[in-house]
Amino acid sequence: MAELTQVDKDTNIKVLVRVRPLLPREIALEDDESKKSLIQMPASDSKRTILRVPTSSSFHTQKTKTFHNRSPGSETEEEFKKYNFDESIWSFDRNDPNYTDNNQFYHKTGPDIIDHFFQGYNVCLLAYGQTSSGKTYTMMGNRQEPGLIPLIIKDILRQKEILVNERINCEVKFSYMEIYNEQVNDLLSLDESIKCRVREHPVSGPYVENVKEFLINDYEDFKRYLNKGNTKRSTAATSMNDTSSRSHAIITLSLKQTKFKNSGDSMDIGDADEEMISNIKLVDLAGSERLTKTKVFGQQDRMKEGTLINKSLTVLGRCINLLSSNSSKPHSKQSVVPYRDSILTYILKENLAGNSRSFMIFCVSPIDFEETYQTLNYANQVKNIKTAAIANKTKLATIPVQWDVLRRSDQDAIDSLKREVQELTEKLSKLESSAFSNSSDTNVAVSDNNRFDKLINFLDSETSKLRFENKYLKTQLHQRDLQISEMHRHINYIDREYESLNQEVHELQLNHQTMARNSLKGQCEQGLVDIANELELFDPKRMF
Ligand SMILES: Nc1ncnc2c1ncn2[C@@H]1O[C@H](COP(=O)(O)OP(=O)(O)OP(=O)(O)O)[C@@H](O)[C@H]1O
């Protein structure tokens, strides 16, 4: 039975803003004035972002018209927009001492994200911004400077290893999908004909069906799946960005933590006591763009992509706007939020307003006023949005885990499943090779496929259990080894102490003997002196 152990009502979405450096094409601009950053983030205040309104912007022109009517001459005055966010990340100039690279950025937010994830909360980290504002650089990074996603995953996998010592087994699963032209594609699926539709669960909310999840045990597993997905992700060169993301990418990690009670017997893991399931969504959105700026006119595919990217981001903007204004209204007066108007907002429904701890990174260009101003205003609205995160713990029925019995029965089950897998594989290949397969054959193939998937899932989870047992026993063994070497060190120490005591005793004995001999000698000498004195008294010569 599910126990809701911790509900964090009204947790605001955390808002982080990052300004990127100038791009080579921007550095090449001739006008020095247009290369100055419109954004300032004072080192003394990590929350502050200040945007300078350039005199050439339509915003300024609009304002000065009104000013002009009131006070002539004020059109030359510079104006500044001031914002406060949870973090303002300054990455404009690498030579600046306050420059923040991906690793430093990760250290500001990563630990919070990972804590929430392991405490059983659903978490979402999402990067938003115009095209070429640095979303992919921030989220994925590159070989020299890995982004938040690889850094987060590296630490999750490290924590997973550490928890083995606390008798907690962690199963981490990875899935990677994109929303391209308002359709979800599973980037890790081999079968492109499988449709991934968004469905809604009455309790846990929207989810995407048929997306494959893969168990990841170490960083190498993650890199393999990430690279596989990246090669399938839709990117294209536009005039704004050589490798512009043309789709919204969503990486989901699900974590199942199973805690085992301490049975007192190191060869027995004990009973599974508590289970916690959480997931983290890491989202790299495609950039909002003006079709004129990206110069994709005439390219039908690019234009369709661009229009649909803009549509989904507009819906996201509308949802943010309504959620923000709803946050200050009583429930009865709140407007309906149109999550279902785009696949992106439908999938992110829970992360925008439900059971999730959410973090949004707003990436901005330092010199594009109109886009940056719009992005900062979005970010300002998001600050008001609240989510209600729940850490979900489920008490398991206490079934004693006896590993030798389990291993034997596992082996039986695995052997019989292997046989079944082999039979099904043969059946499948027969069906595939049959050119004239009729519809009933196809039905058989589909149901066999489902069974095959279930078997693979079962085998995956059994393998994970066995791996954990193996790892746990190895840890125990390692701890025993440490204890044994500690005892050896202790024995050596006692040996050395014993030897030095022996030495001391021997020396004391020698001293004692010398002292006894010396005192005896002294006594003898004294006796001789006494006798000599007495003899002298009786000397006959002295008597007469
Ligand atoms: N913090 C940064 N430091 C150095 N270079 C950066 C930084 N942020 C972005 N860049 C550079 O800016 C360019 C555009 O960045 P990126 O591809 O991440 O943008 P994007 O927002 O993901 O664009 P799109 O929406 O088109 O996919 C890249 O060449 C990237 O290397």
Dist. CA 287–CA 235, nearest whole Å: 11
Smallest CA separation from ligand 1 atom 31, residue: 137
Length of the chain: 544
Dist. CA 461–CA 370, nearest whole Å: 51
Smallest CA separation from ligand 1 atom 14, residue: 132
Which regions in the chain score pLDDT beneath 50? 1-4, 66-75, 291, 294, 296-297, 396-403, 405-407, 435-436
Q: Which of 25, 91, 136 to mutate to test the pocket of ligand 1 (most atoms within 8 A of CB)?
A: 136
Question: Phi/psi of residue 240, each to 5°?
Answer: -90, -30
Q: In this predicted model, what pLDDT tens digit does every residue of 431-486 receive, in sequence order? A: 777 644 555 555 655 666 777 777 777 787 777 777 777 877 887 788 888 888 89
Smallest CA separation from ligand 1 atom 10, residue: 134
Are 277 and 256 contacting, i.e. CB atoms less than 8 angstroms apart? yes
Task: Find residue 7's DSSP bridge partners.
Answer: 390
CA of 238 to the centre of ligand 1 (A): 13
Q: Which one-letter amino acid corresponds to residue 158?
A: R
Ranges assigned E (strand) in 44-167? 48-53, 79-84, 87-90, 123-129
Dist. CA 121–CA 287, nearest whole Å: 28
CA of 503 to the centre of ligand 1 (A): 74
Dist. CA 458–CA 462, nearest whole Å: 6
Structure tokens at 448: 């066999």
Dist. CA 336–CA 322, nearest whole Å: 8
Residue-level pLDDT at 164? 83
Dist. CA 211–CA 125, nearest whole Å: 20
Please name the residues in contact with 385: beta carbons below 8 A apart, sequence gap of 6 or more: 12, 13, 320, 323, 324, 327, 352, 353
Instruction: Ligand 1: list residues with CB < 6 Å.
Output: 20-21, 23, 91, 129, 131-137, 241, 243-245, 286-287, 363
Residue-level pLDDT at 134? 95
Residue-level pLDDT at 70? 46
Smallest CA separation from ligand 1 atom 8, residue: 134
Angle at 311 between CA 305 and CA 313, to 5 degrees: 105
CA of 241 to the centre of ligand 1 (A): 8
Residue-level pLDDT at 259? 85
Q: Report how far apart, in Å, the C-alpha atoms of 493 and of each of 481, 486, 490, 503, 505 are.
A: 18, 11, 5, 15, 18
CA of 244 to the centre of ligand 1 (A): 9
CA of 245 to the centre of ligand 1 (A): 10
- How many other CB atoms sit within 10 Å of the CB of residue 197? 11
Residue-level pLDDT at 271? 72
Encode burial over 73-104: b for 16+ CB neighbours within 10 A, e otherwise: eeeeeebebebebbbbbbbbeeeeeeebebee
Residue-level pLDDT at 490? 92
Minimal CA–CA distance to 135: which of 251, 288, 307? 288
Q: Which of 137, 246, 367 to mutate to test the pocket of ligand 1 (most atoms within 8 A of CB)?
A: 137
CA of 114 to the centre of ligand 1 (A): 25
Smallest CA separation from ligand 1 atom 15, residue: 134
Residue-level pLDDT at 163? 84
Please name the residues in contact with 338: beta carbons below 8 A apart, sequence gap of 6 or more: 315, 318, 319, 322, 345
Which is the closest atom of ligand 1 to the Cα of 18? 1
pTM, two decimals, is: 0.73
CA of 440 to the centre of ligand 1 (A): 51
Residue-level pLDDT at 240? 56
Q: Which of 19, 20, 39, 243 to mutate to test the pocket of ligand 1 (most atoms within 8 A of CB)?
A: 20
Q: In this predicted model, what pLDDT tens digit does every residue of 500-540 receive, in sequence order? A: 999 999 999 999 999 999 999 999 999 999 998 888 887 77
